[in-house]
Amino acid sequence: MAKPEHIPVHDAMKMVKYARNKKARIIGPTTPGIICPGKTKIGIMPANVFSQGNVGIISRSGTLLYEIAGNLSLAGIGQSACLGIGADLVIGTNLNEVLKLFEEDEHTKLVVIVGEIGGTQEEEAAKFIRKMEKPVIAYIAGRSAPPGQRMGHAGAIILGERGTAKSKIDALKEAGVEVVYKPSDIVNVAKKYVE
């Protein structure tokens, strides 16, 4: 189930706990949903920018998810599944959980992470990625955000040295992830793995 934004934190915590007890999965909050091009779409994503293929995309940003999927599609690189995990403090399905699903999915050959400053999901994911067999590409938004500036999402909180663009990029690179500095660069890197 996709969860919209503006849900109070305590309510979100109750929903996530309830879903886990029922062995259900919540995606979000602040998510555009999930799409498996040509098969399933749940949420508000514009289906016309996606195409069938074998690249899995996990994004904390809905808009960047559309842009990157659209660029890949225009280059003839389709997607197996794309989902926005959201960027609030309480997340129904986290980055590591989705990475595990993509690692196990026979249709996914490459994973793209679209992260952003705040929180520590990308740094935690770097630990999991070290054990993955599938290649991972990442883009981290917010490299030029002014220090101490509050960003739009509730989850965009930087915790000391963790949660910064630099700390995320460093952790991902150390895990063997190819990190790009512009969303448009993902296409050229993806071509090495899927063509």
Would you name the residues annotated as active-site residues?
Answer: 153
Give the separation between CA 111 and CA 157, rounded to whole angstroms: 25
Two structure tokens written together for 12: 């979100």
Helices and strands: H and E segment counts in the chain: 6, 7
Residue among 81, 194, 186, 96 nearest 141 (CA): 186
Two structure tokens written together for 109: 């050959």
Specify which residues 5 forms β-bridges with.
none
